[in-house]
Amino acid sequence: MPRERVTLEPAWLLARRPYRETSALLELLTAEHGRVGLVARGASGARSKLRGMLQMFQPLLVSWTASGDLGTLTGVESAGRGMELAGERVFFGWYVNELLLRLLERHAPQPEVHAAYGTVVAALAGEGAETALRRFEVTLLEALGYGLPLEGVFDPSARYRWDPEQGVQPGGGGREVSGAALLALRSGQFEAPDTRREVQALLRTAIDRRLDGRELKARRLLREMRQRS
């Protein structure tokens, strides 16, 4: 397989863990190559300049070479100011990263997901975090081919039944959802608290189905923190 060289591609760090003695194994979401795994040689060394650069929620420009599934980092630059998340929003950011690590295959370009990631991280550091999270979940499901079927005319005052296999059906029973929530999903407007909670529950059901029973650590940690508060 020929060696690929990529130069200064926009990227976000999703995860980082020690690798061998002084290196680190990185998982990144890139603009044109999707999720990639890279070895950052010397990144864990005490004097490494990479330690401060390779941070979550920091827009990066990354260069690497690869001839297989795992590449080698050859350069990294800052692409802007990092997003400072505080309180529960740190867990929201971890949740987004963990979703991508669980649901995205490596080397599958998802430019719309990369763009949506920048939007949701900016919102987590500013205003509209809950709405941005829901929009990100919708974008991710659609990019993976699991978008919710929202065609048709919905009565905002009616109740519908959502089935993972058959989609939205008239009438109650099973996983019920209001017409108002379906219209909100289609428009991307989740400002009303009741509608937002219903949309969140529906999207969680759809996402959990794709996780095949695997628990998200970020969810558990947030739940434990709230219980201690």
> Which of these ranges, 18-32, 57-71, 111-125, 150-164, has the smallest mean pLDDT?
150-164
Distance CA 204, CA 148 (A): 12
48 and 102 together in one domain: no
Which CATH number characterizes residue 218's domain? Answer: 1.20.1440.120
Task: State the residue range of the domain holding 21.
Answer: 4-78
Instruction: Please say if the pLDDT value at position 43 is more than 90.
Output: no
For residue 49, tell me if it sits in a domain: yes
Answer yes or no: do 136 and 198 share one domain.
Answer: yes
Tokens describing residue 101: 């690590």
Q: Are residues 110 and 189 in the same domain?
A: yes
Among 132-141, 154-163, 170-179, the range with the most confident prediction by mean pLDDT is 132-141
The full 3-state SS of 140-183, as one line of letters, equals: HHHHCCCCCCCCCCCCCCCEEEEECCCEEEECCCCEEEEHHHHH
Q: Are residues 163 and 68 in the same domain?
A: no
Supply the DSSP symbol for 77. Answer: E
pTM value? 0.91
In a domain, residue 98? The reply is: yes
Determine, yes or no, domain membership for 83: no
Is the pLDDT reported for residue 1 higher than 60?
Answer: no
Question: Residue 14, SS3?
Answer: strand
